[in-house]
């Protein structure tokens, strides 16, 4: 995974609400992106999660008390408030927002929030009525006037039967908002606020610990699409098989080896607005799990190997009963009757669009720098593009996807 928050330090203030359990997941997401996290728990937070759990996930101690001999001697709350790149408050309860708006400094969390000059991001979480209350609206306006950023809350299912805005933003949304606040994500472009998932590269299907089945995909087109989507402002997750390419800038990369790992990583990365399946997934894998021992030559000829079919990742996601991305894009690498096969593939896989290319040996597409593609839609329309560099194909595809999403 590319570390979009590499060497950034986040002071995470966890407030006292049921969403505090999601703050634990937030610690993990921030660390995945390369950040170090210093957790601070209010007394209320400790009713929901323990400092030990926060410390275990952060890999460092969690702070809870204003007058804590150990940390006062070592660092102290003023230092805590300075030695970071940003402060994130998640969940920010109505009470915590009120205390911040009033400039209170009665415990460690509010003292840090008053003492800090760092950028602050709040992820509010509270009951719908509390969020709608004029007092909370006033406090929110005061905090925004003070330059504090707010992400969420989202509408949706909550602990109480009411529904409406109040549910804390998801950990990845908070991490994205933090990156935007720190200027680490492009702030404009047609895909700002969108989530894009891309698969890329080949998969390797182990035969034994040293041998595997693979194909010639270089991952260049998929990686270029991920980079172009990030440049267009999207939050991008790239699930990549083994490739010899650098991680594209500003993209969260999940590295996998096999088709089954790729499917699991794709499912974990959802939801997404656009899912682009550019990986050349191995269609088959050896039936028997690779053991830890190399298969030996014993002079009687090759060991028999039976193959079984891999899951079809594109079809699985395109046919998902719930949470299907609004735009699902497949690729078709064909050596003949490219368009005809691509049309059939749309119907078979249930995707919205197929990007088809001719990978016959004379084209040099596989592993090469150029690509000549046809973009085929579910309604049967075909656009045939001239031969272009893979980066340019990626830019045009991303613009095309953004246009379809906006329609």
Instruction: List residues with catalytic annotation.
Output: 215
One character per residue 194-213, x = contact with ligand C5P (rule: CB under 6 A):
-----x--------------
Burial class (CB in 10 A: 0-12, 13-18, 19+), 351: buried
Contact (Cβ atoms closer than 8 angstroms) between residue 248 and residue 238:
yes
Q: Which residues, 306 to 335, sit near ligand C5P by CB under 6 A?
A: 310, 312-314, 330-332
**Nearer CB in complex with ligand C5P: 164/311:** 311
**Nearer CB in complex with ligand C5P: 26/282:** 282
What is the DSSP track for 293-361?
SPPPP-SS-PPP--EEEPP-HHHHHHT-SSS--SEEEEEEEESSSHHHHHHHHHHHHT-SEEEEEE--G
DSSP letter, residue 202:
B
Min separation Cβ 407 and ligand C5P, Å:
22
Of the candidates 133, 157, 163, 146, the one whose C-alpha atom is nearest the C-alpha of residue 89 is 146
358 touches ligand C5P (CB under 6 A): no
Among the listed residues 94, 175, 252, 279, the single contact to ligand C5P using CB under 6 A: 279
SS (H, E, C) 40-66: EECCCHHHCCCHHHHHHHHCCCCECCC
Nearest residue relative to ligand C5P (C-beta): 313
- Residues 7, 9, 10, CA angle at the centre, nearest 5°? 145
Phi/psi at 24 (5° precision): -65, -40
Min separation Cβ 214 and ligand C5P, Å:
14
Q: Which stretch binds ligand C5P (CB under 6 A): 8-16, 127-135, 157-165, 275-283?
A: 275-283
One character per residue 242-261, x = contact with ligand C5P (rule: CB under 6 A):
-----------------x--
Min separation Cβ 230 and ligand C5P, Å:
20
Rounded CA gap, 18 and 185, in Å?
30
C-beta neighbour count of 114 within 10 angstroms: 16
- Please count the residues of this chain forming the interface with ligand C5P, following the rule CB under 6 A: 13
Among the listed residues 281, 328, 397, 402, the single contact to ligand C5P using CB under 6 A: 281
Rounded CA gap, 324 and 317, in Å?
6
Min separation Cβ 154 and ligand C5P, Å:
30
Min separation Cβ 269 and ligand C5P, Å:
14
Q: Which residues bind ligand C5P (CB under 6 A)?
A: 199, 259, 277, 279, 281, 283, 310, 312-314, 330-332
């Amino acid at each position: 995974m590319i570390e979009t928050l590499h060497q950034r330090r986040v002071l995470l203030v966890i407030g006292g609400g049921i969403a505090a359990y999601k703050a634990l997941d937030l610690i993990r997401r921030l660390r995945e992106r390369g950040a170090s996290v210093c957790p601070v728990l209010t007394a209320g937070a400790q009713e929901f999660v323990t400092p030990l759990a926060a410390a275990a996930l952060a890999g460092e101690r969690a702070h809870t008390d204003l007058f804590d001999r150990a940390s006062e001697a070592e660092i102290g709350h003023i230092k805590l408030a300075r030695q970071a790149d940003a402060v994130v408050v998640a969940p920010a309860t109505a009470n915590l927002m009120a205390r911040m708006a009033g400039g209170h400094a009665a415990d460690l969390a509010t003292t840090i929030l008053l003492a800090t000059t760092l950028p602050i991001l709040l992820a509010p979480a509270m009951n719908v009525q509390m969020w709608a209350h004029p007092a909370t609206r006033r406090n929110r306006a005061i905090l925004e006037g003070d330059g504090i950023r707010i992400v969420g809350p989202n509408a949706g299912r909550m602990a109480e039967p009411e529904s409406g805005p109040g549910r804390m933003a998801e950990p990845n949304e908070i991490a994205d908002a933090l990156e935007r606040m720190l200027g680490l994500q492009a702030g404009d472009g047609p895909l700002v606020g969108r989530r894009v998932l891309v698969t890329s590269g080949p998969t390797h299907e182990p035969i034994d610990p040293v041998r595997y089945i693979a194909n010639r995909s270089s991952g260049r087109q998929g990686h270029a699409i991920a980079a172009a989507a990030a440049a267009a402002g999207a939050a991008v997750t790239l699930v990549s098989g083994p490739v010899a390419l650098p991680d594209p800038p500003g993209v969260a990369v999940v590295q996998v080896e096999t088709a089954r790992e790729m499917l699991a990583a794709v499912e974990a990365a959802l939801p997404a607005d656009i899912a682009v399946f550019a990986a050349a997934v191995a269609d088959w894998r050896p039936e028997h799990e690779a053991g830890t021992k190399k298969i030996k030559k014993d002079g009687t000829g090759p060991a028999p190997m039976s193959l079984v079919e891999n899951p079809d990742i594109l079809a699985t996601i395109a046919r998902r009963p719930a949470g299907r991305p609004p735009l699902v894009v497949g690729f078709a690498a064909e050596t003949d009757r490219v368009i005809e096969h691509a049309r059939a593939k749309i119907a078979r896989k249930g995707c919205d669009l197929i990007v088809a290319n001719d990978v016959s040996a004379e084209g040099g597409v596989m592993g090469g720098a150029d690509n000549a593609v046809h973009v085929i839609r579910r309604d049967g329309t075909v656009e045939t593009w001239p031969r272009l560099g893979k980066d340019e194909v990626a830019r045009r595809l991303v613009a095309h996807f953004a246009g379809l999403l906006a329609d």
